[in-house]
C-alpha cells in the first residue's frame, strides 16, 4: 500500500494488486469482523456444559477426532478469516494459562460481540462500547473476588480437589467415570506437588495412552512408563537397584563426516575391517559396564551385532527412547544425558529402585516401568480405551482435570458453577450501570446481558427452557442474596450449586471474563480491512 497525490494535491491510496483485493471501512468492517467471530462462537456454544454436544472433525488426511474441548475444536477447524482466528488464539491462551474453560471463554466472547453489534446499530461509537465493556469487566472481576470462597484442599482426604476434578470431567466423554478419573488426577498432582511453595511441575506427570481395554482400566503408575521393551527378548525383564546410563549416541561404529571409500582387495582385509568394527562395539559395551551401569537406555538404535554383545555382557538395553522420555528420566533419576561413550562416568548414572517390563492384555505389547526414582517422584497416568478417539479425548479430559487441581493448589479460592457466578456478576454490573450517567451505561448493560447468555446457553444445551430457567435463578439470587443459585443442568432437584458441589477455580473464571473482554475490544478497534477478493 502506498500514498500518492493527484494534480491538485489530493492524497489517494494505491494498493498492490488492487484489482484482486477488496476494502471494507467503517460500519461494514465492524459488522464483517463481528459476524465472522460470532460464527466460530456459535459453533462452540452447543458444546458448553455437562450435556454439551461433541463435534466430529475430519482432517485433510482423513483422521477423525471427536471432542467437545473448545481449544481442540477451534484449532482443528482450519479457520481462514483473520478476525475469527483471534478467537482461536483466545481459546489457546485460556488453555495455556488455565487449562480449562476453553469453550466458555469463546462463547462469552461471542455473546459480547452479539451485544456490540446491537449497540453499533444504535449508533454508539465502538470506542464508547469498548470503554463500557472495560468498566463492566472490572466490576465483574471485583464481584467475583467478593463472592469467592476459600476451600481446605487437605480436608476429608482431598475431597474438595476431587469434586473440582469431577466438575471439569463432567462435560467430557469420560463423565461416567469422572469420580475414578478425578481421584487418579488428584493423586498424580499431589504426588509431584510442592505444597510448601504451592507449586506443581506438570512435566513430572506423564500421560501415556494405549488402545485396548476400556476407560475403567485407566490407572496411575508410580514411576515413568515408556512405550518400549528390552532390545533383546532374552534380556532380564526386571532390573533391581537400577543404575541407568542415558545415551544420546548410537551403538554403532563412527562414520566420517566426509565422503569416503574403503577398498577391500582380499579376504584378510575384510576380516580386519570386521574385527575393527567388532572392537568398536566391545569398547562401547565395556565403557558402559565399567561405569557400574546395569541398564542402558539409548535414544538411537543399534544393530543386531551390538544387541548380541549387550546380551553376552549381561547388560539390558532399550533402544529408540524418545527425546522427551530421555529428559523426563534424567529429571526423575538424577541421570546426566551422555552424548559420547568416552564421557561415561559413575557420577552421570541415574538411580531407580526398579526397572521392569510389563505386558498388557493378550497381545504381545510391552512397556517399561521405571519405579522409585532417586530425585523426584515422577508419575505416569496410563489411559486405556476401546479406540484411538476415546483414548485421545480421555487424555484431553484428564489434562483439563490436572490443570484445575494445579490451579486450586496455587490459589484455593473457588466460585460456584452452573452459570451462578455469571448471573451474580450480571446483577452487580446492572446495579453499577444505574450509577453511570454517560453513554457507556448502554455498553455496561449489554455486558450484563452477555454474561446472562452463559446460563442461557447451559440451560438450552440441557433441554431446559433458557428464558424460564435464567429468570427463575436470577429472581432467587436477588430475593435470597445468594450468589450460588444457578441452572440445574443435571436435574438433581436443587439449583443451589453448593449443594450440587459444582464449582470451578476463581482464577479460571476471572481469566475467562478478562480474555473475552480484551479480544472483543481488539475486534471493535478494527475499522479498515484490506483483504483478497475471496475474503
**What amino acid positions are annotated as catalytic residues?**
69, 102-103, 400
> In this structure, is the dihedral angle defined by the CA atoms of residues 195, 142, 485 and 419, taken in order, positive or negative?
negative
C-alpha cell recorded at residue 263: 577398498
d(CA 409, CA 419): 23
Edge-first strand listing for the sheet containing 205-211: 205-211, 379-385, 219-221
d(CA 223, CA 463): 44
Residue 504 three-state SS: strand
d(CA 332, CA 355): 13
Residue 95 three-state SS: helix
d(CA 63, CA 183): 31
Burial class (CB in 10 A: 0-12, 13-18, 19+), 101: buried
Q: Give rounded-to-5 percent helix, strand, coil for the chain.
A: 50, 20, 30
Nearest Cα neighbor of 517 from 132, 164, 250 is: 132
Give CA torsion, residues 129, 135, 140, 142, to 10 deg: 170
Burial 350-372 (b: 16+ CB within 10 A, else e): bebeebbbeeeeeeeeebbbbbb
Which residue reads 522409585 in cell numbers? Answer: 372
Neighbouring C-beta atoms of residue 58, cutoff 10 Å: 10
Helices (H), 51-125: 70-76, 82-97, 102-121
Q: What are phi and psi of 339, to 5 degrees?
A: -90, -15
Nearest Cα neighbor of 150 from 401, 497, 505, 423 is: 505
Amino acid at each position: 500500500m502506498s500514498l500518492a497525490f493527484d494534480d491538485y494535491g489530493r492524497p489517494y491510496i494505491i494498493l498492490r494488486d488492487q484489482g484482486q483485493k477488496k476494502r471494507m471501512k467503517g460500519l461494514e468492517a465492524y459488522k464483517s469482523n463481528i459476524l465472522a467471530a460470532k460464527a466460530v462462537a456459535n459453533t462452540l456454544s452447543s458444546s458448553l456444559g455437562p450435556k454439551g454436544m461433541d463435534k466430529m472433525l475430519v482432517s485433510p488426511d482423513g483422521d477423525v477426532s471427536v471432542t467437545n474441548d473448545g481449544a481442540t475444536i477451534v484449532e482443528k477447524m482450519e479457520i481462514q478469516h483473520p478476525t475469527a482466528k483471534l478467537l482461536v488464539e483466545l481459546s489457546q491462551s485460556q488453555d495455556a494459562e488455565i487449562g480449562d474453560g476453553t469453550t466458555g471463554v469463546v462463547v462469552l466472547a461471542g455473546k459480547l460481540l452479539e451485544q456490540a453489534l446491537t449497540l453499533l446499530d444504535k449508533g454508539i461509537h465502538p470506542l464508547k462500547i469498548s470503554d463500557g465493556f472495560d468498566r463492566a469487566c472490572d466490576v465483574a472481576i471485583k464481584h467475583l473476588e467478593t463472592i469467592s470462597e476459600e476451600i481446605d484442599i487437605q480436608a476429608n482426604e482431598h475431597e474438595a480437589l476431587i469434586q473440582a476434578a469431577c466438575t471439569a470431567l463432567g462435560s467430557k466423554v469420560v463423565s461416567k467415570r469422572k469420580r475414578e478419573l478425578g481421584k487418579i488426577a488428584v493423586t498424580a498432582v499431589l504426588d509431584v506437588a510442592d505444597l510448601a511453595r504451592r507449586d506443581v511441575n506438570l512435566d513430572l506427570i506423564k500421560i501415556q495412552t494405549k488402545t485396548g481395554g476400556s476407560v475403567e482400566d485407566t490407572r496411575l503408575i508410580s514411576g515413568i512408563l515408556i512405550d518400549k521393551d528390552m532390545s533383546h527378548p532374552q534380556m532380564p525383564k526386571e532390573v533391581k537397584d537400577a543404575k541407568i546410563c542415558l545415551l544420546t549416541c548410537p551403538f554403532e561404529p563412527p562414520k566420517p563426516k566426509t565422503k569416503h571409500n574403503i577398498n577391500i582387495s582380499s579376504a584378510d582385509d575384510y576380516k580386519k575391517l570386521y574385527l575393527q568394527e567388532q572392537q568398536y562395539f566391545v569398547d562401547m559395551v565395556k565403557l558402559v559396564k565399567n561405569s557400574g551401569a546395569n541398564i542402558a537406555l539409548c535414544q538411537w538404535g543399534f544393530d543386531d551385532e551390538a544387541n548380541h554383545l549387550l546380551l553376552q555382557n549381561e547388560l539390558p538395553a532399550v533402544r529408540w527412547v524418545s527425546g522427551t522420555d530421555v529428559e523426563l528420566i534424567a529429571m526423575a533419576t538424577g541421570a546426566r544425558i551422555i552424548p559420547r561413550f568416552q564421557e561415561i562416568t559413575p557420577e552421570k548414572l541415574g538411580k531407580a529402585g526398579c526397572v521392569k517390563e510389563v505386558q498388557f492384555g493378550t497381545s504381545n505389547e510391552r512397556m517399561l516401568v521405571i519405579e522409585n526414582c532417586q530425585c523426584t517422584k515422577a508419575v505416569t497416568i496410563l489411559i486405556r480405551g476401546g479406540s484411538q478417539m476415546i483414548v485421545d479425548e480421555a487424555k484431553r479430559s484428564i489434562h483439563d482435570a490436572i490443570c484445575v487441581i494445579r490451579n486450586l493448589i496455587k490459589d484455593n479460592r473457588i466460585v460456584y458453577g452452573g452459570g451462578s457466578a455469571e448471573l451474580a456478576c450480571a446483577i452487580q454490573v446492572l446495579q453499577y450501570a444505574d450509577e453511570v450517567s454517560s453513554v457507556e451505561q448502554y455498553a455496561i448493560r449489554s455486558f450484563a446481558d452477555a454474561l446472562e447468555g452463559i446460563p442461557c446457553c447451559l440451560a438450552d444445551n440441557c433441554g431446559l427452557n433458557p428464558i424460564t430457567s435464567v429468570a427463575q435463578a436470577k429472581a432467587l439470587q436477588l430475593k435470597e442474596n445468594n450468589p450460588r443459585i444457578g441452572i440445574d443442568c443435571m436435574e438433581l432437584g436443587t439449583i443451589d450449586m453448593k449443594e450440587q458441589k459444582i464449582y470451578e477455580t476463581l482464577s479460571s473464571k476471572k481469566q475467562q471474563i478478562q480474555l473475552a473482554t480484551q479480544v472483543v475490544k481488539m475486534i471493535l478497534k478494527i475499522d479498515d480491512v484490506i483483504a483478497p477478493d475471496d475474503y
